[in-house]
Amino acid sequence: MNDMRIVLRSLSARRLTSAVTIGMVMVSVALLLVLLSLREAADQAFRRGTGNVHLLVSADASPLVAVLNGLFYANAPANPISWQKYQEVAGSFPWQWAIPTQLGDSFRGSPVMATDSAFLRDFEPVPGAPFRFSTGRAFEGEFEVVVGAHAAREHALHCGGKIVLNHGSSGSREGGHEHADHPYEVVGILQPTGSAHDRALFTNLESSWIIHAEDRLEQDGASESEADHDHDHDHDHGHIETADLADEDKLITGILLRLPTRPGSDASASIAPQMDRLRRDTSITVAQPAQQIGRLMAIVGDVDWLFVVMAVVVLVSSAISIMLAMVSSMELRRRQVAVLRVLGASAWRVFFLTITESTIIGVIGAILGAALAVVGCQVASAVLASRIGMVIGGVVDLRSASMVVAGAVVLSVLAGVLPAIKSYRTPVARHLRPIA
Amino acid sequence: MVIAQQDSVSSTGVSIANLQFSYDRGFQLRIPSLEVARGEQVLLAGPSGTGKSTLLHLIAGLEEPLHGVIRIAGEDFLKLQGSRRDTFRGRHIGMIFQTFNLLQGFTAIENVMLSLMLAGYSTEEQRRRAESSLGRLGITDLHAPVETLSIGQQQRVAVARAVAGEPSVVLADEPTASLDPENASATIQLIKEAARNCGAALIVTSHDPLLRSLFTRVIEVTG
């Protein structure tokens, strides 16, 4: 027999109350840890998508919009950039790479990015982790498309399949106009990256330019016929080749830039000077993606802290429930305390026995809560990965878990103080009398 | 309360001198002198409300007298403060109650071992003494939760708990109040035998006049 056995017996004597109280602590701790983990996961998910890009050039209204559109496919950028501007920017500095991108088309709501082969080769959606193919290869010729992992799963696309793209994204004014004359062949499926790129499809710029050039010619032809009804309608709106493309057809919506860095480093001292230099050109918007995502997280950070505060309130309320459960059982406890005192236990000893009891409730609840959070996060991670292709860590941060468990234990100790004081002050003789 | 009879004995288990106690509501207890030797068995007899239980609580150090001296096994018990008094109580005083006051959720042997633990015995000694004490009193199912035992068995566990540590004094507060005469007599015999076996002074309180014949020394308590 020892003090711990006394406490455990006391808990088991009120096993229903003990179980419910432990359950409350468990749920509170699990909720708090899951919220903290999801907050961290959301932050990581945003940071993943920017990859190893140092600078993003677009004609969007603001740097943040440029990043959300250009790297997270929020919307098709409204304003294009000319090919001449791309060449001007690309030739203005010895970049490690300068990748042109064009957004605007879609496939059943999934965004399509037209770019060059360097995107799938050099751009890393997660720094240090380049694109990898689940099956197939990168696009090489016109009208070949590579599909992101989530898009492939969502639309049941496989290598060798043919698809027809829509002009405009699903939410745009142009949405719904199909490029039915030019079916694309799926030549590659990418592995999941845990970024927004998993939702996208990738093709080369020339394919997109050809389609849009043909659209333009068709619209020009229709305008001419409306203007001159007597004119013979014998224009040949046949297929255009790459060589036929005019400068006005070669439009892009973004330029991804990376500066040379030392091996093993992602940073470059030239980022800020080059950004300042490019910003002097008022026709373009220059964004530093990592910085913009940091700003975005700072904005939404205040909101998700509210969830954390709510979870802390739940944790505190579980501590109060420990106290209430112990205080409500005080009549039974006082008789037990009186007997312990008669048998030789000091007032301080019963004080600490009571504190130990609340602490054990807190420790068991916190450990079970942490375990529940670990399992819950892994399940959530697996579900998110399989359902929407979102890759989150699925791991409860050890530091967060330690702090939350320690906090829960401290709160449970504090919750035991009032019942412990009542135990300490129990008038022994009065509580030894037979219950009337 | 007034002690009506008193003998002088040697080798004291309990020795009281000039003890005075008062509740706020006016009840007063005065005991000029009382000694109960180790091995001696005394019945405090008298009607309810005359202070018999209060005297036992004073002897056990659970109530504070206005003044006076209580010696247990030669130690001025009231001079001990805090945990020292509690430890001394656990070591030298065994108590038996009308409603047993066994700890619910604990087994028979755990109830006995608990009292031995608080008296300072090692775990091994706790187990040895508890098994021995329960065995002598006829409890065979040592690991049954006490609430599953019969009333008679619970009473025996309560007696075993009081005597297992071989205290100097055993105090039994109305141990037969809820029993019929036959069971009351058997219970008193059980307690007397257990106290005798451990050599303790035994003080039993009862308002039942039928128990007087079972004690050689009876102290009348009157209001």
**Which ipTM was obtained for this model?**
0.86
Task: Tally C-beta pairs within 8 A across A and B.
Answer: 80
pLDDT tens figures, B33-55: 899 999 899 999 888 878 888 89
* Contact (Cβ atoms closer than 8 angstroms) between residue A368 and residue A22: yes
Short-list A183, A153, A144, A145, CA closest to A166: A183
Whether the CB of B115 is below 8 Å from some CB of chain A: the reply is yes
Q: What is the pLDDT of residue A387?
A: 63
CB within 8 Å: A2 and B98:
no
pLDDT tens figures, A110-119: 999 999 999 9
**pLDDT average, residue stretch B5-30:** 72
Measured over the CA atoms of residue A19, residue A24, residue A25 and residue A30, the dihedral's sign is: positive
Smallest Cβ–Cβ distance between A13 and the set B83, B95, B105 belongs to B105
CB within 8 Å: A339 and B101:
yes
Q: What is the pLDDT of residue A394?
A: 63
CB within 8 Å: A339 and B118:
no
**Chain B residue with minimal CA distance to A426?**
B62
Instruction: With a cut of 50, list the residues of chain A below it in pLDDT.
Output: 171-174, 229-237, 436
Q: What is the pLDDT of residue A326?
A: 80
Mean pLDDT of chain B: 86
Minimum distance, in Å, between the CA of residue A426 and any CA atom of chain B: 11
Task: Please give the DSSP secondary-structure letter assigned to residue A395.
Answer: -
**pLDDT average, residue stretch B90-105:** 88
Q: What is the pLDDT of residue A156?
A: 93
CB within 8 Å: A344 and B118:
yes
**CB contact residues (below 8 A), chain B span 54-113, against chain A:** 54, 57, 60, 62-63, 82-83, 86-87, 89-91, 95, 97-99, 101-106, 110, 113
**Chain B residue with minimal CA distance to A12?**
B105
- CA gap A219, A210 in Å, rounded: 14
Smallest Cβ–Cβ distance between A429 and the set B63, B114, B119 belongs to B63
Residue B12, SS3 per DSSP: strand
Q: Among residues of chain B, what percentage have pLDDT more than 70? A: 94
Residues in chain A: 436
Contacts of A214 (CB under 8 A, 6+ apart): A181, A237, A239, A240
Q: Among residues of chain B, what percentage have pLDDT more than 90? A: 33
Q: What is the pLDDT of residue A233?
A: 41
pLDDT tens figures, A13-41: 888 888 988 998 898 888 888 888 877 77
- CA gap B192, B172 in Å, rounded: 10
Burial A354-378 (b: 16+ CB within 10 A, else e): bbbbbbbbbbbbbbbbbebbbebbe
CB within 8 Å: A343 and B57:
no
**Chain B residue with minimal CA distance to A339?**
B101
Residue A37, SS3 per DSSP: helix
